[in-house]
Amino acid sequence: MDVLTVWKGKEVFEKLAEIYGQLYLEPGEEGEELYPEVVLKGRMPEVKKLDHFHMTDEDSCCLAQTPAGGVMVITLHDRRDFETFLQIMGKKCRRVDIPATQGASILDGVINHRKIEAHRDEFFRKAGEAGKEPDQLEWMQERSRFLEDKKNYRDALIILSVGPYSGVPADKAGYAEQDWLSISQTIRMYHECTHFVCRRLFPDKIDAIWDELAADAVGIYAALGRYDLGLAGTVLGIRDGKYTGGRLENYVPEDEPDQKQFIDRILPGVLSAMEEIGSLSEKQEMEPFELAVRLEKEKEALWKPEQASPYRKERVKPCRKCPSDRCTALWDGKRKCLSRRVRGELSADLEKEMETMSQYLVKTKKRPSQDAWLTEAWADPSAEKIGMYLTHCGVVRGSAKALVRYGEAGTKPVAGMYFSYDEEKVERVIEETLALPGIYYLRVWLNSGVLVLGDPIMQVMVGGDIRPHVIEGLQFLVGKIKIECVVEEETYKE
């Protein structure tokens, strides 16, 4: 694998923070509050400090070339920096514990506002060269087109710590201290690059435990020139065919009631897959990423766990609120209950009822009539439980957000806005709102694209039993959508 070093030492953090402004934020309550503005809106923090990182001269940022394209690999030699980096970039600036057995992470889809700004500068430069007066409205239309392809502005980052792989000491791995540290770093880099390659080339085959088996195999193969079955088991916490505690438990689903029972169930499939991987890797000599691709292509033959559904992620989510019986099954992409549907137990009435879950988000270009919404709400079966409906309609305001919310003087009047939203996140917020006490009815409509003064941005309706519940529901719904689900970029009058 070709690797080009881009930055070393303190420069790693300084340069990365110029691109990803959230690195200036310290994990904690204040950082969490500022995070949405920095990440979703592209606003750089007023205070630019990096003293929550310790930094070492050995830290590095490299560009690694893989079969799926280039990816930035960041190696941090101080464990505290590795954990802080993940808390900021991967956990939205929350102070959460990072497992001691976790020595690396891949962050795919990180928003890079500098790429958007560079495209904007190029757009206006070309307009000037063509003798045109730069036009904000034309730019907003071009921006909308540019953002349609996430590859234009989203990055993939691989973050590596330095130390024994999976927290396994050298004597347990069977190597001298320095040899094991060197081997660990190679395994770690190829492991994460394998995730990057497989998620890009095989996006529909995400399966947490198989992905770890395959990535470990490629990492070990790259470090040793062969697949070591014993070492592969050791780094997962498997010894003599039994699970003795280790990294494997990191991949047990959060909603699994009995972790030990789950591992006991899948362990035979894990051991069998590891043996099959060993046999395949011995058949012919190949490059590490050739092995990765080969494993993915032959996955169905190699990976036969006893129970796949609890941890497979092929566009399936845990059920949050089944309208029929609040089951703990799974939802597919059409928001139908898989466990009941695949057994043929889903009646036509229940099918229709479940389809209404996706109708809470109204997808029309024109803003719906509030009168029509109210008429529909009165006719809904939930009406008998509802004592109040509350609506909200947000529009493009002439005064800048920086002035109204933050009191920043000297802001220009607003000419318009570019607005977009993440549909999946909105639907998740809708489900969370419906789970609040006393909330029985919702409608959400969001605009998109280039908007001008007075244009509607969003319209919502909340129906519930009593006024305090409905007011709380509306504030929760609108607040979560604004903070977590949308991108708003104001344009200003000259």
pLDDT-derived band at 147, boundaries 50, 70, 90: confident
Q: Which residue has the higher pLDDT, 361 or 314?
A: 361
Q: What's the pLDDT tens digit per position in 422-475?
A: 888 898 889 889 888 899 999 999 998 888 888 999 999 999 999 999 999 999
CA angle 416, 422, 426 (to 5 degrees): 105
Q: Which two tokens stand for residue 295?
A: 């494993």
Amino acid at 149: D
Percent of the chain with pLDDT over 70: 88
The region of weakest confidence among 303-307, 356-360, 373-377, 425-429 is: 356-360
Q: What's the pLDDT tens digit per position in 219-251?
A: 999 999 999 999 999 999 998 889 988 888 888
Question: Tokens 């009191």, residue?
Answer: 407
Q: With residue 295 as reference, give the H or E element that holds it.
A: helix 288-297
The region of weakest confidence among 109-123, 176-190, 255-269, 274-288 is: 255-269
Q: Quick count: other Cβ atoms within 10 Å of Cβ 443?
A: 23
Asked if 402 contacts 408 with a C-beta cutoff of 8 angstroms, the reply is yes
Asked if 265 contacts 306 with a C-beta cutoff of 8 angstroms, the reply is yes
Distance CA 144, CA 22 (A): 24
Residue 323 pLDDT greater than 80, yes or no: no
Q: Quick count: other Cβ atoms within 10 Å of Cβ 85?
A: 23
Asked if 468 contacts 398 with a C-beta cutoff of 8 angstroms, the reply is no
Q: Which two tokens stand for residue 129?
A: 């060269």
Residue 177 pLDDT greater than 90, yes or no: yes
Q: Quick count: other Cβ atoms within 10 Å of Cβ 253?
A: 14
Q: What domains are defined for the chain? A: 3-302 (no CATH), 317-355 (no CATH), 363-492 (3.90.1170.40)
Q: Which two tokens stand for residue 417?
A: 């806005």
Residue 442's Cβ-count burial label (10 Å; 0-12, 13-18, 19+) is buried
Residue 300 pLDDT greater than 90, yes or no: no
Dihedral, 137, 35, 444, 392 alpha carbons, nearest 10? -80
Beta strands in 127-285 (DSSP E): 154-160, 238-239, 242-243
pLDDT-derived band at 199, boundaries 50, 70, 90: confident
**Strand, coil or helix: 415:** strand
DSSP per-residue string spanning 102-150: --EEEEEEEE-HHHHHHHHHHHHHHHHHTTPPP-HHHHHHHHHHHHTSG
* Alpha helices, H only, 396-462: 401-406, 423-434
Tell me the torsion sign for CA atoms 427, 428, 432, 435: positive
CB-based burial, 370-408: b 16+ in 10 Å, e otherwise: eeebeeebeeeeeeeebeebeeeebbbbeebbebeeeee
Q: Which residue has the higher pLDDT, 418 or 54?
A: 54
Distance CA 137, CA 18 (A): 28
- R_g over Cα of the chain: 26
First to last CA, the chain: 50
Asked if 194 contacts 63 with a C-beta cutoff of 8 angstroms, the reply is no
By DSSP bridging, strand 104-111 and strand 69-75 are: unpaired
pLDDT-derived band at 158, boundaries 50, 70, 90: very high
How far apart, in Å, are the Cα atoms of 243 and each of 198, 214, 259, 268, 459?
A: 27, 18, 12, 11, 53
**Strand, coil or helix: 248:** helix
For residue 107, which of 192, 24, 23, 46 has the smallest C-alpha distance?
192
Q: Quick count: other Cβ atoms within 10 Å of Cβ 235?
A: 26
The region of weakest confidence among 148-162, 322-336, 375-389, 461-475 is: 322-336
Q: Quick count: other Cβ atoms within 10 Å of Cβ 304?
A: 13
The single-letter DSSP state of residue 357 is: G
Residue 141 pLDDT greater than 90, yes or no: no
By DSSP bridging, strand 456-464 and strand 439-446 are: antiparallel
Q: Which two tokens stand for residue 418?
A: 């570019």
Residue 277 pLDDT greater than 70, yes or no: yes
Q: What's the pLDDT tens digit per position in 366-387?
A: 888 988 899 888 988 889 999 9
pLDDT-derived band at 78, boundaries 50, 70, 90: very high
